[in-house]
Amino acid sequence: MLTSSESVRVFLLDDHEVVRRGVRDLLESEPGIVVVGEAATAREALARAPAARPDVAVLDVRLGAGSGGDHEGVEVCRELRARMPELACLMLTSFDDDEALFDAIMAGAAGYVLKQIGGSDLVAAVRAVATGKSLIDPRLTSRVMARIRGPEPTGAAAAGPAELDRLSPREREILDLIGLGLTNRQIAERLFLAEKTVKNRVSSILGKLGVGRRVQAAMIAERLREPQRHHR
């Protein structure tokens, strides 16, 4: 965590070059902020960011078609924080999306702001998360968690006993760790498995539950934990 007098090292991820240039120019025009690297794809970000040793990563939530999932920027946050726990991730998005917000919270993001934010406010947000402050409004967190714990879901997220019974004991264990927000790497270390094995198991879990995204599996895991809390 930086003190307010130290320079802030920033890494940028956005699939639009114009956006990256604009954010870079904005941040580097401010004293005490230096952009140490940038990427257009998740793969580039995961390869370049650790070597750049940023204090803050400004990450686009939604990357372009062909880059991966709808919220791949959040997955980058999850993976980078697994490698660099002190890194503060500031998520940028064009959409006010509860599911993306929940995904960001689970990934350990320090801030979540809309791209319509003013330039001076973005600079202030970068400085704030660099010094350890959270820019995710607790009221938003409460709203998302209330939705998850609210009425029973319908459709793909409404996994019932039949779907859950398809999971092996190891897959149920991995599902629970997904619900705790752990990355594939962290799950592999916790369970003494190869990371590739965990990745394959996660894909199998999503298929058996009938969901397409990791955050949906996390929501199911959260619902499974609720009865356990009530019986303690």
How confident is the model at residue 30, as a pLDDT?
93
Supply the pLDDT for residue 64: 66
**What DSSP designation does 70 have?**
T
The radius of gyration of the chain from alpha carbons, rounded to an integer in Å, stands at: 18
pLDDT of residue 108: 83
pLDDT tens-place values along the chain, 232 residues long: 565 567 899 999 999 999 999 999 999 999 999 999 999 999 999 999 999 999 999 999 988 644 444 678 988 998 998 889 899 999 988 776 777 787 787 788 898 888 888 899 999 999 999 998 888 766 666 666 565 555 544 444 455 556 678 899 999 999 998 888 777 888 888 999 998 899 899 889 988 888 777 777 877 887 776 555 444 4
Residues 6+ apart with CB under 8 A from 60: 13, 14, 15, 16, 19, 73, 92, 93
Q: What is the pLDDT of residue 216?
A: 77
Percent of the chain with pLDDT over 90: 38
**Per-residue pLDDT, 213:** 74
Distances (CA, A) of 188 to 55, 82, 192, 194, 221: 26, 12, 6, 6, 18
| Amino acid at position 89, single letter | C
